[in-house]
Each structure stands twice: as C-alpha cells, then as structure tokens.
C-alpha cells in the first residue's frame, strides 16, 4: 500500500505548479488553538505529510522536537529553506508513512493536516491509523485536520470524509477526545470545511 508513483507525481506537480491551495504559508489556526489548550507535555512530535513545513515550524517554535515527513522532495526542500530562515531545527525526511518507519519514534504527538483524508478506502485509512498508532508513546496523542463531507459542494477542494468514516477507522485504536467541525485556515475567502480531530492512543489496541 505504498504511495504510488501517480500519487507522488500528483503532489509533486501541485507544488511545482504552485497549485496547492492548502499551502497557506502559515500554521493552521485550528492547530494553534488546540496546542494552546493541551495540558499534556509534548516533548517530540511527528508530522505526517508536512508539505512546505509551516505547521512543523510552528510546533518547533514551541520547543517541541519535530520530525516531519513527506513523499515529495520539492515540498521538503521548501520546508527546509523556510525552517533555516526562521532559525529552527527540524528533521525533515522523505518517507512514506504507509510503508516506512520514521526514526525518532515513539512520539508524544502525531499531527497531520490533509494527509489522512487522502486515503480513499476504509482499508487504507485503517492502515494509516495503525501506522500512526505504532509511532506514538503509550500516552500519545494524534491531531488531524480532515476535509469535512458535511460541506456539499461541487467546487474543487480537499477530499472530504464523513464523521462515520473517521470514527470507523479511528475508534478501535484511539479514544476520541475531539471531533469538531471547523474550517481549514487558508487564504481563500471561504476556506473548505474541516474536522478537527484529536485522539488518545488506546492501550493494547494493536
Ligand atoms: C494536502 S497536502 C497537505 C500538506 C501540509 N500538511 C499542509 O497542510 O500544507 C498532503 C500532503 O501529504 C503528503 N503525503 C501523501 N501521502 C503521503 C504518505 N503516504 N506519507 C507521507 N506523506 C504523504 C503529500 O505529499 C502532501 O504534501
């Protein structure tokens, strides 16, 4: 279930052609709000599908030791450049989360924005959830920003999942602490709706 060359090319071309509306140039306000409210100490974090790095940089600026992965080199190059300019050190790695273990695990926190929602079947989403699970400490948390299928539109936008699709994949492995409807933080006048998900790893679920 590795990312296919078509998937890699899809994202590569979107970054290359500056056709990446999710790439807002700033950390998502939903992540900023949730990090503000978390009481549990977070020493290290894995970001999956980090794109050009704005959220990873935000997390590193909070003193968290951040490892950030993507399958597109051009996105990671841009992320490394941004981090260098901001003077933060982040371990950016070209890795496919579905197949490759990420050095540095276990992590206190996994974050993804718009990566989980790209997987189109229950089977693929459950695999992503298990891969996330296996990278977390026993008390670890996963925060995900996910396209929201309650937005009925034919306009282009992110893949959109129903609450049921999320719960089906996640609930056996994570205690759901938050599943809230919001909007992505982007430069669009009316950004697409999203789910803000936060889950705590269940003990012994794998
Ligand atoms: C919609 S983009 C979001 C990027 C970034 N999180 C942001 O919010 O700007 C999804 C990202 O996930 C990456 N991705 C897709 N499949 C992946 C996989 N199997 N492992 C790691 N990253 C993946 C893509 O290359 C892309 O950069």
Contact call for residues 78 and 144 (beta carbons, < 8 A): no
Domain count, the chain: 1
Residue 114 domain-assigned? yes
- The response to whether residue 191 sits with its C-beta less than 6 Å from ligand 1 reads no
pLDDT tens-place string over residues 120-155: 999 999 999 999 999 999 999 999 999 999 998 888
- The response to whether residue 115 sits with its C-beta less than 6 Å from ligand 1 reads yes
Structure token digits, residue 76: 């990671």
CATH code of the domain in which 133 resides = 3.40.50.150
User: Residue 69: which of 120, 110, 127 has the closest Cα?
Assistant: 110
Instruction: Give Rg (Cα) of the chain.
Output: 16
- The response to whether residue 74 sits with its C-beta less than 6 Å from ligand 1 reads no
pTM for the whole structure: 0.97
pLDDT tens-place string over residues 158-191: 999 999 999 999 999 999 999 999 999 998 889 9
**77: CA distance to ligand 1 center in Å?**
14
Residue 66 domain-assigned? yes
**Segments forming the whole domain that contains residue 166:** 24-201
């Amino acid at each position: 279930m590795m990312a296919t060359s078509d998937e890699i090319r899809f994202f590569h071309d979107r970054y290359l052609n500056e056709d990446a509306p999710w790439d807002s140039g700033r950390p998502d306000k939903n992540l900023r709000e949730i990090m503000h409210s978390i009481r549990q100490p977070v020493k290290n974090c894995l970001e999956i599908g980090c794109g050009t790095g704005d959220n990873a940089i935000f997390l590193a600026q909070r003193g968290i030791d951040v490892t950030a992965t993507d399958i597109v080199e051009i996105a990671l190059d841009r992320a490394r450049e941004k981090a260098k300019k901001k003077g933060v050190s982040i371990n950016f790695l070209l890795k496919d989360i579905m197949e490759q273990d990420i050095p540095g695990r276990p992590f206190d926190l996994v974050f993804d924005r718009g990566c989980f929602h790209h997987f189109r079947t229950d089977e693929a989403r459950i695999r992503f959830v298990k891969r996330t699970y296996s990278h977390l400490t026993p008390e670890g948390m996963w925060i995900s920003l996910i396209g929201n299928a309650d937005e009925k539109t034919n306009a282009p936008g992110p893949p959109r999942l129903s609450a049921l699709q999320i719960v089906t994949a996640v609930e056996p492995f994570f205690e759901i602490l938050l599943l809230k409807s919001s909007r992505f933080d982007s430069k669009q006048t009316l950004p697409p709706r999203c789910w803000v998900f936060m889950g705590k790893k269940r003990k012994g679920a794998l």
